Amino acid sequence: MGIGRRISRAIRREGYGRVAGLRVRLSGSRRARRNMGRVLKTFGGGVAYGTLVEPRWLETTLVEVSIADLPPALDGYRIAHLTDIHYSMTAGRNFLARVVEKTNALDPDLVALTGDFIAKNPKNLHRCMSLLSDLRASDGLWASRGNHDYHASIEQFRGACLEAGIRLLENQHAIIRPTRRHWNGEEMRLPDVEDGFVLAGVGDMWEGECSPGKALHGVKPERPIILMSHNPQCAELISESQGIDLILSGHTHGGQIRPLGKVLPIFTDGSTKYASGLVESEHTVVYISRGVGTSSLYFRWNCRPEIALITLRSPGAHAPNHDDQR
- Confidence category of residue 195, pLDDT binned at 50, 70, 90: low
Helix (H, G, I), strand (E, B) or coil at 219: coil
Percent of the chain with pLDDT over 70: 78
- Confidence category of residue 103, pLDDT binned at 50, 70, 90: very high
The more confident residue out of 224 and 324 is 224
CA–CA gap between residue 216 and residue 224 (Å, rounded): 12
CA–CA gap between residue 203 and residue 233 (Å, rounded): 12
Residue 290 has pLDDT above 60, yes or no: yes
The more confident residue out of 298 and 114 is 114
CA–CA gap between residue 175 and residue 231 (Å, rounded): 22
Query: Pseudo-torsion of CA 324, 65, 260, 292, nearest 10°?
Result: 90
Percent of the chain with pLDDT over 90: 60
The partner residues of 5 in beta bridges, in order of sequence, read none
Q: What is the mean pLDDT of residues 283-306?
A: 94
Tell me what pLDDT residue 183 has: 52
CA–CA gap between residue 156 and residue 138 (Å, rounded): 26
Residue 324 has pLDDT above 50, yes or no: no
Residue 44 has pLDDT above 70, yes or no: no
Tell me what pLDDT residue 4 has: 57
- Confidence category of residue 319, pLDDT binned at 50, 70, 90: very low
Q: Which amino acid type is present at position 179?
A: T
What residues contact residue 146 under an 8 Å CB cut-off, 6+ apart? 83, 84, 114, 115, 116, 117, 204, 230, 231, 250, 251
Consecutive H or E run containing 181: none
CA 18, 23, 29 angle in degrees (round to 5)?
A: 125
